[in-house]
Structure 1
Amino acid sequence: MAELVYPPVIGFARTMFKALDLRFDIQGSEHVPQRGGAVLVSNHIGYLDFVFCGLAARPAGRLVRFMAKESVFRHKVSGPLMRAMKHIPVDRAAGADAYRHALSALRSGEVVGVFPEATISTSFTLKNFKTGAARLAQEAGVPLVPMALWGTQRLWTKGRKRDLGRNHVPVTIRVGEPVEAAAGESAEQVTDRVRGRVQQLLEAAQRAYPVRADGPGDSWWVPAHLGGTAPTPAEAALAERR
């Protein structure tokens, strides 16, 4: 079936990126398979992360079907677009339908995008990964492609006003080699391996990032362990529980 909506949306996003003068540093896009199913696994630090993950898959000619919370599909603007781009709604109270939908997409040769932390990390460090991405890959017999984003939190993230001005924000993306589940390996073991690879890619993206915080007032987007003023993972977890 022809993709009538996804390509124009990509074109609009590229125009927006140019208008904002975003500075992209993308490495590893060649690791996204050019054909066949795959699960794209990324960290999650901003509301626009799915756009940037999709951008990294474009050199391979792939359109990524992202799993996203069901409320996004109810929005009067984003809802029709999400459905037309064949993204996958996730009702956290009844996740079996989303799992079946994603599994069907993978078996038909689609790339499915998953944020296994399940929500934005306000500490900008990796949270624990859910095992769903690994279980999908194992059941569909497809690889997991690890990815890390850095800088996207500066544009729009949880608890901060969005900043979509022409501020020349750098966005660094690293894509790793596909991870295959070994015979007899549990979903938990695969998840741990993938999380470790995403952590390595995240650290590489942070090292390569061309901008450092300009004093305490501009260090909100830098993790505490790197000298910034973002909440520690423990503080972020406490705030979420509250």
Structure 2
Amino acid sequence: MAEFVYPPVIRTALAVFRALDVQIEIVGAEHVPATGGAVLVSNHISYLDFLFAGLGAYQGGRRKTRFMAKDDVFRHRISGPLMRGMKHIPVDRTDGQPAYEAAVRALRAGEVVGVFPEATISRSFTLKKFKTGAARMAADSGAPLLPVVLWGTQQLWTKGRPKTLTKRHVPVVIMIGEPIHLAPTDKPVMVTRRLRAAMTEMLDEAQRRYPGKPSGPDDTWWLPAHLGGSAPTLEVAEAEDEQEAAAKAARRSAAAESQG
């Protein structure tokens, strides 16, 4: 089936990256399967991660990734038509089963499906706890897991920081690991632990090879605490996430009561 939306979006993104001199390094592109389904699993440190993770798969094998994303994005007047045109998969967080089934169908049809197993952006820029959905999709579809790690994207646009989409010369590392093939006896929980361990090693390597340095004492916010940065620790970040979730729930409850 012809793709009318995805190719021009890719060309536009690449043109913008060139104009801003985003210094993209892709490591492990040879690991992207040339054909067949694959569950692309990425860490999540920026609102732009789907662009860069998708670029890794595209540059590695011209594969177009169908990302699972919250359905709010599909209802937006600008992003909605684009998301639908690129055949991304909307996720209703109150009932994720239809999205899960759609993802498995896409995998069985030979598509690459993108998943962020942390569910939300990591404020600490370290790996949060993974949900098991990616491993379950791989088990149900017979597709391998394709681990991807991003580093540097948080400097452009991340949670709790102003957008710096016009910042120039930002290095970005896209690291693609070897596919993880599941055996019929593998348990999703154990596979998820194995996946997270592999991605932890990949993230450490991406950070070691990253050429960017803070420009001064006020520019350490994008570095995790264990690397000497001022980003919150994982424990502090999780507490902030819980507070934010509670505040959102309270607002939804208040809105429902006012409508009632």
Return the TM-score normalized by structure 2. Answer: 0.92
**The residue matched to 1:106 in structure 2 has which SS?**
helix
After TM superposition, give the deviation of residue 8 of structure 1 in Å: 0.5
After TM superposition, give the deviation of residue 92 of structure 1 in Å: 0.9
The aligned amino acid for 1:80 is P
Q: Counterpart in 2 of 1:116? A: 117
Whole-Å Cα distance in 1 between the matches of residues 96 and 236 of structure 2? 28
Q: Counterpart in 1 of 2:142? A: 141
More moved, 2-11 vs 213-222: 213-222
In the TM superposition, 1:1-242 aligns within 5 A as 1-59=1-59, 60-242=61-243
| Aligned residues of 1:38 and 1:110 also touching (Cα < 8 A) | yes
**The residue matched to 1:156 in structure 2 has which SS?**
coil
After TM superposition, give the deviation of residue 32 of structure 1 in Å: 0.8
Whole-Å Cα distance in 2 between the matches of residues 84 and 171 of structure 1? 27
Which structure 1 residue ranges, 4+ long, deviate > 6 Å from structure 2? Answer: none
| Aligned residues of 1:21 and 1:166 also touching (Cα < 8 A) | no
Gaps of 5+ in 2: 244-260
Percent of aligned pairs sharing the same letter: 60
Whole-Å Cα distance in 2 between the matches of residues 186 and 33 of structure 1? 23
**The residue matched to 2:236 in structure 1 has which SS?**
helix
Structure 1 or 2, whichever has the larger Rg, is: 2
The aligned amino acid for 1:108 is A
Whole-Å Cα distance in 2 between the matches of residues 234 and 93 of structure 1? 26
| Aligned residues of 2:23 and 2:170 also touching (Cα < 8 A) | yes
Whole-Å Cα distance in 2 between the matches of residues 211 and 85 of structure 1? 32
| Aligned residues of 2:139 and 2:184 also touching (Cα < 8 A) | no
Query: Which deviations, in whole Å up to 9, do the C-alpha atoms of 1:21-54 show, x marking residues without a partner?
Result: 1001111011010100000001000000000011
Whole-Å Cα distance in 1 between the matches of residues 105 and 119 of structure 2? 21
The alignment covers a number of residue pairs equal to 242
Q: Counterpart in 1 of 2:251? A: none
